[in-house]
């Protein structure tokens, strides 16, 4: 890759599914030659609620060392990948809360022209995966972003089956190699497109 690309992978994960997809995206972006930041958004649910589900409390402990997302992570990036579980067909409120802090960057035009893409998970099949990714695309439109979906641009996407973005049915267990491979491919594709854009702008 001739152009250096900065990638911020910003996500929310309650019990680890989206975190696993985010880690796979890190692998894909790094393999494509990018500089990568993995960032979680702040948890807004009270600890006493989290403690009612052991897997949720355990994931909070397991990811205590993951840095929390800031606006600098968005400004620094050429590519922003957002990951979230679906909540009634929409992004989780924790991710939305972070997105809604980006107004100052938007006002200064610092969100425009970046490459954006999204990934998600749901408890059940047809549990709102596509609508969640499309909801995030609405934000990308307002930012003036360049939306790069994975489409069916790699054989793994024919297996995984979601051209909008990587998705996984959490009710079937942790993401397997197909979903993880799809996340790697999605990140790699965004890096390749961003590198081409940077090269074109400097030509």
Residue 61 in any domain: the answer is yes
Instruction: List, for residues 82-130, the tens digit of each pLDDT value.
Output: 999 999 999 999 999 999 999 999 999 999 999 999 999 999 998 999 9
Distance CA 8, CA 139 (A): 16
Residue 59 in any domain: the answer is yes
**Residue 1 pLDDT > 50, yes or no?**
no
Burial class (CB in 10 A: 0-12, 13-18, 19+), 157: buried
SS3 82: strand
**Residue 146 pLDDT > 90, yes or no?**
yes
What's the number of domains the chain is made of? 1
pLDDT, position 158: 87
Give the pTM: 0.96
Q: What is the CATH number of the domain that holds 185?
A: 3.40.50.360
Burial class (CB in 10 A: 0-12, 13-18, 19+), 1: middle
Distance in Å from the first CA to the final CA of the chain: 15
SS3 179: helix
pLDDT, position 85: 97
Residue 177 in any domain: the answer is yes
pLDDT, position 56: 93
**Residue 2 pLDDT > 70, yes or no?**
no
Cα 194–198–199 angle (5° rounding)? 115
pLDDT, position 33: 97
Contact 179, 168 (CB under 8 A): yes
Distance CA 60, CA 51 (A): 10
pLDDT, position 203: 79
Residue 144 in any domain: the answer is yes
The domain in which residue 185 lies consists of: 6-202
Instruction: List, for residues 53-72, the tens digit of each pLDDT value.
Output: 999 999 999 999 999 999 99
Residue 45 in any domain: the answer is yes
Q: For the beta carbon of residue 2, count every other beta carbon within 10 angstroms.
A: 8
Residue 1 in any domain: the answer is no
Distance CA 153, CA 156 (A): 8
């Amino acid at each position: 890759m001739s152009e250096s690309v900065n990638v911020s992978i910003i996500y929310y994960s309650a019990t680890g599914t989206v975190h696993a997809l985010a880690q796979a995206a890190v692998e894909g972006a790094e393999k494509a030659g990018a500089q990568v930041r993995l960032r979680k958004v702040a948890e807004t649910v009270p600890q006493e609620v989290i403690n009612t589900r052991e897997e949720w409390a355990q994931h909070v402990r397991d990811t205590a060392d993951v840095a929390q997302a800031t606006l600098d992570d968005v400004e620094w990036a050429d590519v922003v990948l957002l990951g979230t579980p679906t909540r009634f067909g929409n992004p989780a409120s924790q991710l939305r809360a972070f997105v809604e802090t980006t107004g100052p960057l938007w006002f200064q035009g610092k969100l425009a022209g970046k490459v954006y893409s999204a990934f998600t998970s749901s408890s059940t099949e047809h549990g709102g995966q596509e609508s969640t990714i499309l909801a995030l695309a609405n934000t990308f439109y307002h930012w003036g972003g360049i939306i790069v979906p994975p489409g069916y641009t790699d054989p793994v996407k024919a297996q995984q089956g979601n051209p909008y973005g990587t998705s996984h049915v959490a009710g079937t267990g942790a993401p397997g190699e197909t979903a993880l491979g799809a996340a790697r491919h999605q990140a790699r594709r965004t890096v390749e497109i961003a590198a081409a854009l940077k090269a074109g702008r400097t030509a």
